[in-house]
A = this chain, B = another copy of it.
Amino acid sequence: MTERLYLFDTTLRDGAQTNGVDFTLADKLVIARMLAELGIDYIEGGYPGANPTDTELFGEDRGIAATFTAFGMTRRPGRSASNDPGLAMLLDAHADAICFVAKSWDYHVRVALETTLEENLASIRDSVQAARARGREVLVDCEHFFDGYKANPDYALACAETAYREGARWVVLCDTNGGTLPNEIERIVAEVTKRVPGDRLGIHAHNDTEHGVANSLAAVRAGVRQIQGTLNGLGERCGNANLMSLIPTLRLKREFADRFDVGVSDAALASLTRVSRKLDEMLNRSPDRHAPYVGPSAFVTKAGIHASAILKDPATYEHVRPETVGNRRDVLVSDQGGRSNVLAELARVGLTVDKDDPRIGGLLDVVKEREAIGYAYESAPASFELLARRMLGTVPDYVEVIKFDVNVEHRINALGQRVTATVAVVKVKVGDDEPLISAAEGIGPVHALDLALRKDLGRYQDYIRSLSLTDYRVRILNGGTEAVTRVLIESTDADTGDTWTTVGVSPNIIDASFQALMDSIVYKLIRSGATA
């Protein structure tokens, strides 16, 4: 017999507090729909009245297929509920639920709110009543609950109980500073459940001691039945509890999967990696390579000793199957690894080669040679795959580059302003067709080259429309401006969410970048099944 556990996403509200994150209205709607598709029960859209975006978001019915929630403050101290413009705005919001934030640490009530403990309880009571009277489902976030409990348990409990008794569907215990450890969370939640039933309690954890996920699960163990978190752990300071880690653990680890149901289906779980990457892309951030479950390196093995065991049985080195979360296994090829790494990688990309094929030795030698001059195939599996396919003779001659030219000019314009103009020209030949020549202006030389190169590839143009560059990394391998430059380019296919990394090496940063750009395009053409 399983119990229902509810997921509450606050990416659009608490996640919007992340340093450097600034959602537009369109962003919020795309993300809200993505969350609803994922099977999240509650989606907190924002704080109507706090800024124009959030006010507009709640200005009409958005048809989000989840409990769409507006966040706001309880009524201000010393005012009646009917005479508080902030509360009125919240009650007027087009939302299925209202989540009030309420102080529950006596010190904060006095210092930050500058009111009495009694008035704060009255404010909770009046606000819950007002929202219920408008037919809304009500949640109350008890801010600083755990610090408050440690300072004055009776008062913290009184806040929680007031919300519960007035009919709040959920009383959410917030570790606002993120400083509480799992054992404390478990102990305090267990105390709270003596006054408010666990199936009316939620947990809102932050990651300031790297326990955002552990604290959320500790609270579930102690009885709460709602978890608040964000996509990719977005949030102020060190972020909120990371739903991208919580969801797979709840679905795939028996301790939780045997006891609880969540609204995320198997199919939705298999979209998790794509959802994570999509958010990063919208925020123009590189994915966290090492993120649990959904990171590009989450199922990547480097060691030679492990690689041979993985070939024998992948399950021996994986705690869950990468496919269940839409991620994939990868074995890195590098100087450190050996033949078995290469074979495993070839098998993964669908190249079947006999393990005694002499070309394997040749490929290993070329990898070593090229790594010695600066290539890093373990960081650029797509370039490794191309190298292997070329040595095995399975890469069509799609495109020949006849020339490229890039120019950066810095000057003082007619208005006396300093301006820099960057123009690239690329000339390519596709099969026996007439050469194609394209030009583009860019923000910098690599940007201009990328635009010019992808402007017209003739018959292949359709294959590369969904391709975009999502990360560009440069490493100088010796000292000085004469040093060898390694460029790593990460590309993303907007249609599939796939990402891949390619590498280029040259003393000239432009040459190195161009190599990596070309590899990325050829890789995409192979993946799309384009023929010469």
A284 to B379, CA, bound (A): 14
A468 to B273, CA, bound (A): 35
A295 to B405, CA, bound (A): 41
A245 to B184, CA, bound (A): 18
Cross-chain contact A253 with B309 (CB below 8 angstroms)? no
**A447 located at the interface, meaning its Cβ lies under 8 Å from any Cβ of chain B in the complex:** yes
**A19 located at the interface, meaning its Cβ lies under 8 Å from any Cβ of chain B in the complex:** yes
**A336 located at the interface, meaning its Cβ lies under 8 Å from any Cβ of chain B in the complex:** yes
Chain B hits for A442, CB < 8 A: 481
**A466 located at the interface, meaning its Cβ lies under 8 Å from any Cβ of chain B in the complex:** no
Contact digits for A295-325, partner B, Cβ 8 Å, 1 yes 0 no = 1011111111100110011001111100000
**A213 located at the interface, meaning its Cβ lies under 8 Å from any Cβ of chain B in the complex:** yes
Cross-chain contact B447 with A482 (CB below 8 angstroms)? yes
In this complex, how many residues of chain A approach chain B with their Cβ under 8 Å: the count is 126
**A404 located at the interface, meaning its Cβ lies under 8 Å from any Cβ of chain B in the complex:** yes
Within 8 A of B (CB), among A446-470: 446-447, 450, 468-470
Cross-chain contact B408 with A406 (CB below 8 angstroms)? yes
How many monomers of this protein are in the complex?
2
Chain B hits for A50, CB < 8 A: 304-305, 336
Contact of A514 among B208, B410, B482 (CB under 8 A): B410
Cross-chain contact A476 with B474 (CB below 8 angstroms)? yes
**A471 located at the interface, meaning its Cβ lies under 8 Å from any Cβ of chain B in the complex:** yes
Chain B hits for A211, CB < 8 A: 213-214
Contact of A444 among B298, B422, B481 (CB under 8 A): B481
Chain B hits for A489, CB < 8 A: 481
**Closest CB-CB distance, A191 to chain B, in whole Å?**
17
Cross-chain contact B313 with A111 (CB below 8 angstroms)? yes
Cross-chain contact A481 with B469 (CB below 8 angstroms)? yes
Contact of A507 among B293, B305, B444, B485 (CB under 8 A): B444
Of A115-123, A235-243, A357-365, the one touching chain B = A235-243
Cross-chain contact A509 with B511 (CB below 8 angstroms)? no
Of A157-165, A173-181, A263-271, the one touching chain B = A173-181
A336 to B20, CA, bound (A): 12
Q: For residue A144, which residue of chain B has the nearest CB?
A: B316
**A209 located at the interface, meaning its Cβ lies under 8 Å from any Cβ of chain B in the complex:** yes
**A193 located at the interface, meaning its Cβ lies under 8 Å from any Cβ of chain B in the complex:** no
Cross-chain contact A255 with B184 (CB below 8 angstroms)? yes
**A210 located at the interface, meaning its Cβ lies under 8 Å from any Cβ of chain B in the complex:** yes
- 22 pairs, CB–CB < 8 Å, chain A vs chain B: A19-B379, A20-B379, A107-B316, A108-B309, A111-B312, A179-B320, A182-B214, A209-B249, A239-B290, A405-B410, A408-B445, A410-B511, A447-B481, A450-B481, A468-B480, A469-B480, A469-B481, A471-B476, A472-B479, A472-B481, A472-B483, A481-B489
5 A-B pairs with least C-beta separation = A179-B319, A214-B214, A112-B309, A444-B508, A210-B245
